[in-house]
Amino acid sequence: MSDLPKIPRHVAIIMDGNGRWANQRGLPRLRGHEEGAESVRAVIRACREVGVHYLTLYAFSVENWVRPRMEIRGLMRLLRKFLQEREHELHENRVRLRVIGRVHDLPLPVQHGLSRVTKATASYDSGQLILALSYGGRAELAHAVRAIARDVEAGRLAPDAIDERTIGAHLYAPDIPDPDLLIRTSGEMRLSNFLLWQIAYTELYVTNVLWPDFREPEFAKAMEAYSHRHRRFGDTKDRDTIPEVKHAGR
Ligand code: IPE
Ligand code: IPE
Ligand code: MG
């Protein structure tokens, strides 16, 4: 456990910069992704060590499908390899694997691997690793709206009863608390369609370090930065959560 005064319960990461890391070395982009997979390993371990309970990793966006077929294939292969090689660590550490995103877009062997490991780890409670795959924040909100519309159509829900909690309850993983800290590597100052709803009050940490170079020391810097943040959630003093704001349904 860490001796920092404040540790985020949920860290979300936009793992960016694998291609640039490879380019800088005159290597194929896939080598950058391979090296990035090592950072994933390092960060999962670091989260365990400092006591971060939820780790959400943006591994493949809905927009990433426009990339060259070769790169997509390589990424999917790496994902399967990761599941095969790392599954035992999830069991050893009682970490639950979950997936958010349009899972049915993924190649069948990847879907099967994910489904097997998510089921096999479903009862674990020492930590959660959430992979965002074929994920888009807007796609997630559209998915939630469709589900809510079906409830309204079936007479289970009155339109005026729809509030923020209703929307939250229809997201891909409704029980997971909002991220406390969002890390983006490689210096890009954008969200790239990640967790749009959930990061309303998340602390942001952007580093120029490329994802394959983001290992324990860099993670420790992010934890240190977070420990000095003052989260006010609209209040005048520090507080722990978003205040429950009462407002009408319209
Ligand atoms: C992030 O690295 C990995 C994925 C998006 C899958 P990139 O592949 O986006 O690397 P850059 O941004 O081109 O350097
Ligand atoms: C965001 O990175 C998606 C993932 C890390 C999986 P991108 O490299 O796809 O984002 P943009 O295109 O630079 O915004
Ligand atoms: Mg990128």
Each residue's pLDDT tens digit, 95-119: 999 999 999 999 999 999 999 999 9
Other residues' Cβ atoms within 10 Å of the Cβ of residue 226: 20
pLDDT averaged over the chain? 96
CA of 97 to the centre of ligand 2 (A): 22
Query: Which residue's structure tokens are 């090296």?
Result: 35
Nearest CA to ligand 1 atom 3: 16
Contact criterion met (CB below 8 Å) for 48 and 69: no
Could you read off the pLDDT of 67-91 as tens digits, one per residue?
Answer: 999 999 999 999 999 999 999 999 9
CB of 218 sitting under 6 A from ligand 1? no
CA distance 231 to 221: 18
Catalytic sites, residue numbers: 16, 64
**pLDDT recorded at residue 42:** 98
Q: Give the closest ligand to the alpha carbon of residue 14.
A: 2
| DSSP character at residue 107 | -
Select 10-136+178-227's CATH number: 1.20.1260.10, 3.40.50.880, 3.40.1180.10, 3.40.50.720.
Answer: 3.40.1180.10
pLDDT tens for each residue of 154-179: 999 999 999 999 999 999 999 999 99
Average pLDDT over residues 234-247: 87
The DSSP code for 234 is: T
**Total residues found in the chain within this entry:** 250
pLDDT at 228 over 70: yes
Closest CA to 55 of 104, 90, 20, 23: 90
170 Cα to the center of ligand 1, angstroms: 29
Give the whole-angstrom CA distance, residue 85 versus residue 155: 47
Q: Is 114 helix (H, G, I), strand (E, B) or coil?
A: helix
Is residue 249 over pLDDT 70?
no
Q: Check residue 244 and give its pLDDT.
A: 83
Q: How far is CA 136 from the centre of its chain?
A: 11
Query: Would you say 16 and 57 are in contact if contact means Cβ atoms under 8 Å apart?
Result: no
Reported pTM: 0.97
Pocket test for ligand 2, best of 16, 29, 82, 194 (most atoms within 8 A of CB): 16
Average pLDDT rounded to a whole number, residues 188-212: 98
How does residue 131 score in pLDDT terms, banded at 50, 70 and 90? very high
